[in-house]
Structure 1
Amino acid sequence: MGIEFKYPLLLLLLLPAFFVVFLYLKNGNSFKKGEARIISAIRITVFTLLILALSIPQLYLPIKGERVVFLVDRSASVTGTEAESLAWIEESVKHKGAKDEFAIASFAENIVLDQNLGNQSESLTEFNGAINETETNMESGLQFASSLIPQNSSGRIVAFTDGNETIGNSTEAAKLLKNRGIELDYVQVNSKVGEDMALSDLKVSPSLYEGEEASVSLSVNSNINQTAQIRLFLNNKEILQQKIDVKEGKNEYAFSYEALGSGLQVLKAEIESEGDTFIENNALQAITNIKGKPKVLIVQSDESDHLQKALQSSDLEMNTVMPEKMPTNLSGYLQYQSIIFNNVQATGITEKQMELIEQAVREFGVGFMMAGGEESFGLGGYFKTPIEKLLPVEMEIKGKEEMPSLGLMIVLDRSGSMDGQKLELAKEAAARSVELLREEDTLGFIAFDDRPWVIVETGPLKDKEDAVEKILSVTPGGGTEIFTSLEKAYSELEDLKLQRKHIILLTDGQSSGGGDYDAIIENGKEKNITLSTVAIGQDADRALLEDLAEQGSGRYYDVTDASVIPSILSRETVMATRTYIEDNPFYPLVQNDPEWSSLFKDGIPQMNAYIAVTAKPRAKIPLLSEKEDPILAQWQYGIGRTIAFTSDFSGKWSGDWARWNKWSDFINQLVTATLPQYDSEPFRVSVSKGSEQTTVNLESLTNQSLPIETTVLTEDGGEVKTNAKLVAPGKYEVMVPEKEGMYFLSIKQANEHGEMINYQTGFAIPYSDEYLLEGTNHDLLGELASITTGKKLDKEADAFRPLQQKAFSQQDFSIVLVAFAFLLYFVEIAIRRFGLPSFLRKRQQAYATEESNGVNAHKVIQTNPSAQYKTTESNIKVVKEKTANKKKAVKKQKIRENPITDEEREERMRRLLEAKKRRS
């Protein structure tokens, strides 16, 4: 037991407190000197109590019993040892004392509390918390275990682990345990991993030439001798398959393949063997940049080859795909130098694919071109999509007052099955459609479940914001009944005097009731009303919806990915007007642009049609229509270059251009203008994996230390937050989170001449070290135990052995001191107000008299030293005189303290006279 002050320096305040009380006592009234002494004693006591309270005194009381936290490693490297650890804990608990307490926690990448701290007599029989076994974070585990032990109290942590941490720094955690007086013991856990092979390294040159024989080296770690199979994939296409004989330990292999194509290519290696324990360590990835012919991806819906024929004379490698076959990851686009959308509608392309293309253009310099046609630009449904964002033109037509009047009814299913993403995207799509309409247009919006609900009353669109707000407020409801709602939509439009009337029906279910659809659609045709339908998901009544669209002279859309709904509605809204197509033959106007003017020095052919769009402010417009609409527009988007050609490549719209002798030259120049312009090898890139982060090391081959900008994207297009820092002349570091996968890196740097250098590459972060075949890390475990004066445990009973540093509980008793100080303070106030109590006053007066006599005697002795020998004979006389003097002093003191007034004196005299008369 002991006392400790939290703020001991405050005790120095006692010095000025004593000094102030001394001054009070010295200058006090001598007549009340005894009272002053008592008040001084009280004050110094109050000051002392308050100063002690301010310094926060804490009483340390010994705690009986030990506190032990069992911390169990449940990561992949010790898979199968959980039962063994629990059995060890159960046996250990049998040896604990009555006052001993214990807790059980488990860890891997995360931590789970399995049994709270207490003096229970039994331990749990199985772990009940979910754990992420892909990493071992001993640091977090130790920190959590220490938090279970009360602050300012010692204890013990018993760790069951193999010591192979993959993230965190357990040494730092052990130092904190030492500061708290917590011991760390460990029980060695031996991995029960069976037969396993692991790919530990994959190397390929970061830069290759097309046609080059590329060398690939592989490292395989194995704990058995066995035959395995190696597969190599290039951009997910298998290029090699071979059987190999693997020996126990580390094995090195070399393979080769012919580098074909161009651009960034992802190489993946896989190993397969029988009885393999971990599949997580069976694959690795690397990236290489193949230099050769520019590679172009052509996306088109039909099988026409007009564009391919026009590009035959160019030195381009072309790959043509349908929209449904487009890549779904970022690497699928980075292998191309340019992407061409040839009359492709947005309804066949998911929002995610559009986002990947936008990122490939903006961050990696891939070119992009969109050509016109009946299914392109605004007619294709690209309004407010990522594709519109990267193009130099906007899909919406501005300033076109001569457009025909339009009445649009949207009928949206709000049944319970639409709840979630489907309903949210459908509402967003309807809101986009509102933005495409003019204030003169008519809009109506009906949401239905088992009955129609009018959300926006059919009428001129005077307040777009109000209409959008109402649409976005729709919530899911009950069942599905289509006919009544569709009938109401037709009745709302049939009597309106409009040039275009169109209904869009969206549903994901089947109608609970029937109705005469043929009658309302036929009647609608007579009133110039058209109908398009959208089937969402697998449960929609496709047959009914397709039939309704066919009868209603509209379009049917079968949606499997809800993200295309906004594109469908914007396409339908644009198609309803049919005014985006300018189909009067004309001669384009050539602007004064040296890049393009040379093609038209001998004249310019006639063009039949184009899609009307609006140029963005920074766009360059080499070709204009007679109405000053863009025919050809281009600009820089990020580090990529994009072009919009609003006519087509088939000849239907381009007219005489398709028969022009420079037609192929024109198309080749269009594609060439989109190709990336960047230096191929300005940096050397290497990757080093840390405990929690991966470091991408960049070394400038020109040894320049100018600032750089870096962008890191994941395989699915997600951007990783990171910054590049200069660590040495010409050397940079980019820190990225420790997460397995393929990453793409874009580097931008302005050289000393102000020219922008762009470089694109990639890197792979391999699987967690948790899946490496390693034994117990005895060195780390021994170091952790020695830091905290712990040890390796071999006997279960040792877990509850006495701690080297006893545990104490802290009791703060500042409030008690403050309470006594206030009590004494009130006592002092009472004394100063009412004086000392009578018994204290008598004693004080007696002490004062004795002191006075003592002082007088002392003076006599000082003046006549021989007098001290004469006191023997007169001791009795002195005592009597002192007693008499004392009585007189008390009597005089009473008179002084209680003087008699005139009234009291008269009253006493009256009583004496009465008493005398009674005696007479």
Structure 2
Amino acid sequence: MVMLQQPAWLLMCVPVLVMCWFWRTSSRVETAIRAILLCLLLFVLAGPRFERDARAGSLIVVADRSTSMPTEVQSRLEETLQILEEDRPHDARLGLVSFGTTAMTEGFSESGPPVIAGVLNPNGSNLEGGLQRALSLIPPDQGGRVLVISDGRWTGRDPQKAAADAAARGIAIDFRELSRGERDPVAVVSVDAPREVAPGEGFVISAWVRADVAQKVVVTLMRDGLVMARGDHSLRSGANRLAFRDLASEPGTHGYVLLIEGDGPDGIPENNRAEFILGVRGPKPVLHLGSSDDSMLPETLRRGNLALVHRDAGQMSWNLTELSRYSAVVLENVPASDIGERGLEILAAWVRESGGGLLVSGGENSFGPGGYYRSPLDPLLPVSMELRREHRKESLCIVIALDRSGSMGAAVSGHHTKMDLANLASAEVLHLLSSLDEYGHIVVDSEAHVVINRRPATQKAAMRGRILSVESAGGGIFVYEALSHAARMILSSQASSRHIILFADAADAEQPGEYRRLLAQLGKADITVSVVGLGNDQDVDAPLLSEIAQLGGGRVYFTQNPKALPRIFAQETFVVARSAFIKEPTSGKFTPGMTVLGPREWSAAPRLNGYNLTYARDEANLAWLTADDHRAPLLATWHAGTGRVAAFTGEAAGTFSGDLLDWSDYGHFWATVTRWCAGAGTRLPDNSVFTQELDRGVLRMRLHLDPLRDRDPFDVQPTVSLLRTQADRTPSSEELRLVWESPDVLQAELTLEGRETVLPTLHFGQDLHWQMAPVRLPYSPEAAPSDGTRGRVTLERLASFGAGRERLNLGGYWRDVPLVRKYVDLRPWFCLAALLLILGLVAERRTGLLAGRLQRSRLVRTVPTSPSMEESSPSSRTSGDQTVEAGKATPVRRKTDDDAGQRESGGLGAALSQARDQADKRIGK
């Protein structure tokens, strides 16, 4: 059946034919060809197509690959796809969509069944997302079916909306149920506790625990890692309610853990432990981190009416629950290694995304010498820490001996290997050096290989290219080979400071040889050696590396995170250069930038005995500058994201504090700077209330406005920035815009993943923000206890929206897939016919072949027989324009164009004359 998509174009055929009638050419053939050609073009514009039932439609398999599925789900899924592929009709489409926390398209069958190759986060069951993606793969004007392979347990958005969308399109949803079926004798079903309470307020924590049989269990409740309650409980079969009372302590947030321990084996132990977070309203304290309690700064801040908590940096557990208890963090001369790479990442994200405050105080263990250069905190500081040539007083020679054994080829971060990160760390050292300095580079496996022979650090681009081109090789690192070759390279240098950095695997450092004798010789030549070990101080070769650093007069660094190598190598360069910390008495002066911190008149600035040499960033507020030639910042502040950051490059309380400790405004100064970093608190304006609710892994956040308000307490639509962290991931952030749910309520939703913690921050425009209490799921939704029927009920309900049903047998499944109405587009064929007509028209104009044949055909049919010819003698004949009879020629008069009578008679001569005239016109005579 032929159909037209735009039949209105055919109405133009009538005016086209009329136009061709009045616009006739000298040849009727040409006129006819033009008319047919124009009609063909109109037919092309009308969109002709041929409709037929040509092939089966689309079948999309939606596969659940979450943690709650049985372990053999992949093999079962591959078997199902193989059966469907074997029965697939020609040109039918078999597709695969997998879902966990998110949904993804695996592909369509071509030469075989779709391949299960995608990597998904299995800590969720986004069934709704899987169905929506499957529907998007079925063309809107075609039919199809969806086969769901799942246990029916879903998280996130309700899949019923997707089922309704499928029913509206006539697409049926079938299902095959697969469930784990493991024994779950005891499980925490839910924990009910307030999200936020006032200080000193009493509250009740209710937990619902399900047991499959009556049994005795041990119940433990912990707050912030401390046991609050522990005892035996007898559970009856079914649901059991456990209640606990607690009293809110200081403002901030507190993490609770409920643990149920049974006697027998448990197939799903994840749901025996539930975690939740409770917020306590009020001004949050400031966290002071230092290496010991000897500093007078914590007590000074307390006397300034600041709530303060002191912790040792090495004992801090870096997570959002911990950080959200405080309004600001003060780092007093704390090396970056005490915080760790993970802690630096979370601290930087908390300041930038959630509005936390940060105050960094200087000393020999802070800023550049403390390892903060190229750390996650570096971009947040209002001062930069590079080594500038104009401030260097001594030249430096550094030779790096780098492990390139086989273990360095392991991938650690994205497409990077350990070798790649070690190369980047070496390039960072080269970047910090000036043209006055020298650099050498050796890589070592079972023998040493010179990459860059010692030379001035001038042609850095070429040198960096050679450094980054190093690849790992086999074998282990021969320590003596590395040290001896580095020593030979550096001994002839005339630099003021000469230093060797040895990088080795702490579990694979071999053949130390006579390293003690070699290090003694280097010591006599004033050459120092430091060691960076990939691993920890408990590895088998860690004692050897530590001894090498001790005998070499340098330092030893251990890290299990290769991403920290560039920071550690840079830190060692700062220490060796000795120009990053100025150990000279220095006076300074305040600038008008001090008024940003508070409206107070300050006395003359005290004299310091030393400070970290840094440089102010472009947008930083400079409040205190040195009076020496460097004009370096002593106090600089700025906003980093939504947080406030201050950097004091002097030492707050220590050897290099100088007159600062005896300064009359010492307490006011530190209280003012710390208060500025901490911000104004978390109270929402105009009686607004922000609530958070968890349901099936979905966090619903609502901003409730005062119904009696005169106007909205914001000028632009509020947003919520979300800082998300998990134990094994780099912190990430995203922003959601609150939308109106009702005239007095704005809301936003977020699907949580597994064991992650989410810290929301409410934003009213650019400068107003409030940090809320963090939220986390009790445990991964995939571990939620099941009564054995909920999943099946869900699958049956989804199938009931259309004509779907359970598919236990896949034989003949394709017969139920709707046929696709296939349309064959005829426009290309009509265009081809039009092209042939155009070519024919050109040929006819040049040759006149069809017109000539048509004329001759007409003449043959119309020329009459002459009576004189019939009566003539048989011996007479005609030849050309003469009549020959009995040897006597009689001339015959030629017919001319003026002889109208003869033309009308239709004689042969008239026809020939007319043909001759047309030929003359064509050749232009």
Q: TM-score range by the shorter chain?
A: 0.7 to 0.9
> Structure 2 regions of 5+ residues with no counterpart?
410-415, 865-901, 916-925
Q: Which residue of 2 aligns with 1:430?
A: 426
Counterpart-to-counterpart distance in 2, 1:203 and 1:370: 40
SS at match of 1:443: strand
Q: Mean Cα displacement is larger for which, 365-374 or 89-98? A: 89-98
Select which of 50, 60, 70 maps to 2:51. Answer: 60
8 A contact 1:615–1:633 mirrored in 2: no
Count of aligned pairs between the two proteins: 846
Q: Which amino acid aligns with 1:551?
A: L
Counterpart-to-counterpart distance in 2, 1:526 and 1:565: 29
Q: Which residue of 2 aligns with 1:678?
A: 681
SS at match of 2:532: strand
8 A contact 1:371–1:648 mirrored in 2: yes
The 1:252–1:21 alpha-carbon spacing in structure 2 relative to 1, beyond 3 Å, is farther
User: Is residue 2:637 matched to residue 1:635?
Assistant: yes
Counterpart-to-counterpart distance in 2, 1:662 and 1:394: 28
Counterpart-to-counterpart distance in 2, 1:435 and 1:846: 100
Q: Which amino acid aligns with 1:573?
A: T
Q: C-alpha displacement at 1:744, in angstroms?
A: 0.5
Alignment deviations for residues 209-238 of structure 1 (CA, whole Å, 9 cap, x no partner): 444433323445677766665544434544
Q: Which residue of 2 aligns with 1:326?
A: 316
Q: Which residue of 1 aligns with 2:527?
A: 529
Alignment deviations for residues 330-385 of structure 1 (CA, whole Å, 9 cap, x no partner): 22222234433333322343223112222333444444344444323332222233
Q: Which residue of 2 aligns with 1:721?
A: 734
Q: Which residue of 1 aligns with 2:879?
A: none
SS at match of 1:711: strand
Select which of 238, 250, 256 maps to 1:267. Answer: 256
Select which of 736, 752, 760 maps to 2:750. Answer: 736
Counterpart-to-counterpart distance in 2, 1:781 and 1:635: 58
Q: Which amino acid aligns with 1:680?
A: R
The 1:565–1:84 alpha-carbon spacing in structure 2 relative to 1, beyond 3 Å, is closer
Counterpart-to-counterpart distance in 2, 1:290 and 1:604: 40
Q: C-alpha displacement at 1:762, in angstroms?
A: 2.5
SS at match of 1:557: strand
> Structure 1 regions of 5+ residues with no counterpart?
30-34, 851-887, 902-920
8 A contact 1:293–1:315 mirrored in 2: no
Q: Which residue of 2 aligns with 1:445?
A: 441
Counterpart-to-counterpart distance in 2, 1:163 and 1:512: 56
* Residues 14-53 of structure 1 mapped to structure 2, 5 A cutoff: 14-23=13-22, 36=28, 44-53=35-44
In terms of Rg, which structure is larger?
Answer: 1
Q: C-alpha displacement at 1:506, in angstroms?
A: 1.4
Q: C-alpha displacement at 1:416, in angstroms?
A: 3.2
* Residues 294-309 of structure 1 mapped to structure 2, 5 A cutoff: 295-301=285-291, 304=294
Select which of 471, 475, 485 maps to 2:471. Answer: 475
User: Is residue 2:374 matched to residue 1:384?
Assistant: yes
User: Is residue 2:427 matched to residue 1:418?
Assistant: no
Q: Which residue of 1 aligns with 2:348?
A: 358
The 1:105–1:279 alpha-carbon spacing in structure 2 relative to 1, beyond 3 Å, is farther
Q: Which residue of 2 aligns with 1:3?
A: 2
Q: C-alpha displacement at 1:713, in angstroms?
A: 0.4
Counterpart-to-counterpart distance in 2, 1:220 and 1:691: 17
Q: C-alpha displacement at 1:633, in angstroms?
A: 1.8
Q: Which residue of 1 aligns with 2:867?
A: none
The 1:182–1:633 alpha-carbon spacing in structure 2 relative to 1, beyond 3 Å, is closer
8 A contact 1:449–1:481 mirrored in 2: yes
* Residues 227-242 of structure 1 mapped to structure 2, 5 A cutoff: 230-241=219-230
By percentage of residues, which structure has more helix?
A: 1
The 1:140–1:586 alpha-carbon spacing in structure 2 relative to 1, beyond 3 Å, is closer
Q: Which amino acid aligns with 1:507?
A: A
Q: C-alpha displacement at 1:244, in angstroms?
A: 5.4
User: Is residue 2:910 matched to residue 1:896?
Assistant: yes
Q: Which amino acid aligns with 2:560?
A: T
Q: Which residue of 2 aligns with 1:559?
A: 559
The 1:465–1:301 alpha-carbon spacing in structure 2 relative to 1, beyond 3 Å, is farther
Select which of 696, 702, 706 maps to 2:715. Answer: 706
SS at match of 1:721: strand
User: Is residue 2:206 matched to residue 1:217?
Assistant: yes
Q: Mean Cα displacement is larger for which, 168-177 or 417-426? A: 168-177
Q: Mean Cα displacement is larger for which, 228-237 or 719-728? A: 228-237
Q: Which amino acid aligns with 1:719?
A: S
Q: C-alpha displacement at 1:104, in angstroms?
A: 8.7
Q: Mean Cα displacement is larger for which, 342-351 or 608-617? A: 608-617
Q: Which residue of 1 aligns with 2:11?
A: 12
Q: C-alpha displacement at 1:743, in angstroms?
A: 0.6
Q: Which amino acid aligns with 2:204?
A: S
The 1:890–1:829 alpha-carbon spacing in structure 2 relative to 1, beyond 3 Å, is farther
TM-score, normalisation: structure 1: 0.75
Q: C-alpha displacement at 1:704, in angstroms?
A: 1.4
Alignment deviations for residues 399-442 of structure 1 (CA, whole Å, 9 cap, x no partner): 86462232222222233322355333333333333343333233
Q: Which residue of 1 aligns with 2:244?
A: 255
Q: Which residue of 1 aligns with 2:776?
A: 764
Counterpart-to-counterpart distance in 1, 2:78 and 2:384: 70
8 A contact 1:59–1:810 mirrored in 2: yes
Q: Which amino acid aligns with 1:417?
A: S
Counterpart-to-counterpart distance in 2, 1:459 and 1:684: 65
Counterpart-to-counterpart distance in 1, 2:374 and 2:286: 25
Q: Which amino acid aligns with 2:247?
A: E
The 1:611–1:232 alpha-carbon spacing in structure 2 relative to 1, beyond 3 Å, is same
SS at match of 2:349: helix
Counterpart-to-counterpart distance in 1, 2:542 and 2:13: 91
Q: Which residue of 2 aligns with 1:873?
A: none
Counterpart-to-counterpart distance in 2, 1:129 and 1:405: 54
Q: Which residue of 2 aligns with 1:653?
A: 656
Counterpart-to-counterpart distance in 2, 1:411 and 1:184: 63
SS at match of 1:575: helix
SS at match of 1:429: helix
User: Is residue 2:279 matched to residue 1:289?
Assistant: yes
8 A contact 2:355–2:769 mirrored in 1: no
Q: Which residue of 2 aligns with 1:487?
A: 484
Q: Which residue of 2 aligns with 1:868?
A: none
8 A contact 1:711–1:747 mirrored in 2: yes
Counterpart-to-counterpart distance in 2, 1:692 and 1:5: 51
Q: C-alpha displacement at 1:469, in angstroms?
A: 4.5
Q: Which amino acid aligns with 1:343?
A: N
8 A contact 1:410–1:445 mirrored in 2: yes
TM-score, normalisation: structure 2: 0.74
8 A contact 1:744–1:760 mirrored in 2: yes
8 A contact 1:345–1:376 mirrored in 2: yes
SS at match of 2:18: helix
Q: Which residue of 2 aligns with 1:498?
A: 495
Q: Which residue of 2 aligns with 1:907?
A: none
